[in-house]
Amino acid sequence: MVSREEIEHVAKLMRIEIDDPTIYEGVDKMIGYFDILDSAGVESEEISAREIELSNLREDKHIPFGEKLIEKLNHYKGTYVRAPKMV
Amino acid sequence: MNLKISALQFTREVKTGNISVEDFIGKTMEHIEKVDGNLHAFLSLNDNAVNQARDIDKKIKSGDKIGQCFGMPISIKDNICIKDTKTTCASKMLENYIAPYDATVITKLKQQDAIFVGKVNLDEFAMGLSTEFSAYGPSKNPWNTDYVPGGSSGGSAVSVSAFECVASLGSDTGGSVRNPASFCSTVGYKPTYGLISRYGLISYANSIEQIGPLTRTVEDAAFMLNLIAGLDSNDNTTINNNNADYLKDIDSGIEGKKIGIIKEMIGEGINPTVLSATKNAISKLEELGAICEEVSLDMVKYSVAAYYAITTTEAGSNLARYDNLRYGYDFSVEGYAFNAYIEKARKKLGPEVTRRMILGGFVPSSGYAGKYFLKALKVKSKLTRQIDEAFKKFDLLISPTVPILPFKIGEKINDPASLFLIDINTVTANLTGKPAISIPYAISNGLPIGIQLIANSMNDKLLLQAARALEKTVKLPEVPI
């Protein structure tokens, strides 16, 4: 069970404004469902990670794209992205 | 013109000169115009398809080198990038996004002279299993248009099932190729993780998602896999398949193969008709010489929770880029403070995506990461160990693809937790990286049932051989469109 305030706090950190009240119920139900993981008995389990051989990585070299990607953005000025004011 | 032929039949008919590509593509586009208003598989169409077909006919006539697709009409899920075309992910957020490059699978299919007839519907950002969460409205099941086609690759399955193309590419994060394949009675293939490049697939949950084909036959799935599998320097998770030929020896049969029946996937909550079809499929496999025995993978009961804990975490990170600055719809930056601007931009995301993004913030956050995210990763590890152990004894595993029959549009949309449980039989293959396939097996009261086979990693060829053997035991009615 998570409170409305906790959901709003996380949403704020993720820059999401909740204007659909069903979101609270949906998130709460799912978090409640995740509690089933408590009974999985996996405390001593090691987490396995996928390993990628260094030889599988492509060479780290600059490949020009051939098009001006900056111009595909909605807001740009010269070679800068225009963003709203931070302060 | 018979549009109901398989991909391999199509290539044979073109090669022998029995049909022209232009005629076939022209008739396909006419058929889409005729039926898609009702089915809503497509989000956009390729207006240049007939011209491209004409060019391929010219190449054939002049004896030029021609690719293995011979102008085959293919639909593409709208989360896979085709250069200079809209790639919306069925989201208002990417309503006007034009992909600046081709996904690797698209590059490969272009080299083989495939024709992309259009981009097809999905749940927004592939988050869903009914296609009801598309921002552009749901697709409908061609077997009964009151019912969902499954998802998230619902548009792909509908377009193949309703003869709007001969094959489609979807993506499978937790069953998103196999689930709609089962609901629409097509073949749906999720390869071993890494077998097909994800470069150009718009990311949802990178660690487990894969592109996969939806086709009319198992042979067609093998053919598509031949064309799109293999190493890609743009995706360092791809693996070397040594140019395996998945079509070769596809009729080898399954005599002597050991098949494990996953106990946890045929238990509580399964529809009796689906259970009966599964038992029937097992009997058929035994008649073909397979040895079938029950096997328990007790981590399966935690797999859906683990799957959603992991995928929402990855989704929360992947979707952070949709802020209207790098991607997104257009409104001026003037007059906004930074946070308010991004909050406004994100209002374009639908309710399911918003819900999963918030969950994705919650699950790995301080105080909850140990409780949810780390446990989910541990379940994933233990499930992988269990399935690897099972594959020491068995060659293949079997279950119904989905434990229930297709449901009516709107029936479950307000209960996300019950919707998520429908993934119970498909997420295991994603969490463990194993290849899995859904084979059309039965029709009950006009609604399809698919059977799922799973193989060990890199045993895709064996999996396709077994699926082909099962497919040959089935004669299904034609889709009523």
pLDDT tens digit sequence for B332-361: 888 889 888 999 989 999 999 999 999 999
Question: Which of A71, A74, A77 should be substituted to probe chain B, the one whose Cβ sees the most B Cβ atoms within 10 Å?
Answer: A74
Contact between A23 and B378 using a beta-carbon 8 Å cutoff: no
What's the number of domains chain A is made of?
Answer: 1
Cβ(B390)–Cβ(B297) below 8 Å: yes
Q: How far is CA B350 from the centre of its chain?
A: 21
What is the complex's ipTM, to 2 decimals?
0.91
| Residue in the structure block whose two tokens are 């593509």 | B25
Q: Which domain holds residue A36?
A: 1-40
Cβ(B145)–Cβ(B138) below 8 Å: no
What are residue B22's phi and psi, to 5 degrees? -60, -45
* More confident: A48 or B203: B203
Residue B40 vs residues B129, B186, B283: alpha-carbon distances, Å:
16, 17, 37
Among B150, B398, B403, which residue's Cα sits nearest to residue B269? Answer: B403
Give the pLDDT of residue A57: 79
Minimal CA separation from B342 to chain A, in Å = 6
Residue B342 vs residues B163, B327, B346, B359: alpha-carbon distances, Å:
42, 11, 6, 18
Instruction: Round to whole Å and give the CA distance between B114 and B110.
Output: 5
A57: chain B residues, CB-CB within 8 Å: 236
B280 touches chain A (CB under 8 A): no
B/e letters for A75-86, b = 16+ CB within 10 Å, e = fewer, are beeeeeeebbee
Contact between B325 and A74 using a beta-carbon 8 Å cutoff: yes
Q: Any bridge partners for residue B232, and if so which?
A: B235
Nearest by CB: B354 against A2, A16, A32: A16
Q: Is residue A61 part of a domain?
A: no
Q: Is residue A57 part of a domain?
A: no
Minimal CA separation from B340 to chain A, in Å = 8
Which sequence positions of B are flagged as catalytic? 77, 152, 176
Radius of gyration from C-alpha coordinates of chain B: 21
Contact between B358 and A27 using a beta-carbon 8 Å cutoff: yes
Give the pLDDT of residue B446: 97
Give the pLDDT of residue A86: 80
Q: How far is CA B238 from the centre of its chain?
A: 18
Instruction: Look at the domain B7-252+405-471 and name its fold.
Output: Amidase signature (AS) enzymes (3.90.1300)
Q: Is residue A28 part of a domain?
A: yes
B362 touches chain A (CB under 8 A): yes
Q: Is residue A11 part of a domain?
A: yes
A15: chain B residues, CB-CB within 8 Å: 323, 339, 342-343, 346
Residue A82 has pLDDT above 90, yes or no: no
Residue A58 has pLDDT above 90, yes or no: no
Instruction: Round to whole Å and give the CA distance between B189 and B211.
Output: 9
B299: chain A residues, CB-CB within 8 Å: 40
pLDDT tens by residue, B196-238: 999 999 999 999 999 999 999 999 999 999 999 999 999 999 9
B213 touches chain A (CB under 8 A): no
Instruction: Round to whole Å and give the CA distance between B202 and B199.
Output: 8
| Residue in the structure block whose two tokens are 């918003």 | B354
A11: chain B residues, CB-CB within 8 Å: 358, 361
Note which residues in 232-271 of chain B have CB less than 8 A from chain A. 233-234, 236-237
Q: Is residue A74 part of a domain?
A: no
Give the pLDDT of residue B311: 97
Among A25, A51, A32, which residue's Cα sits nearest to residue B309? Answer: A32
Q: Is residue A80 part of a domain?
A: no
Question: Which of B354, B381, B386, B421 should be substituted to probe chain A, the one whose Cβ sees the most A Cβ atoms within 10 Å?
Answer: B354
Alpha helix (H) residue ranges in B154-249: 154-161, 178-184, 218-228
- Which residues of chain B are modeled with pLDDT < 70? none
Residue A80 has pLDDT above 90, yes or no: no
* More confident: A73 or B422: B422
B344: chain A residues, CB-CB within 8 Å: 17
Nearest by CB: B355 against A26, A33, A75: A26
Q: For B126, which DSSP code?
A: G
Q: Is residue A5 part of a domain?
A: yes
Instruction: Round to whole Å and give the CA distance between B225 and B246.
Output: 7
Q: Which helix (H) or strand (E) holds B42?
A: strand B42-45
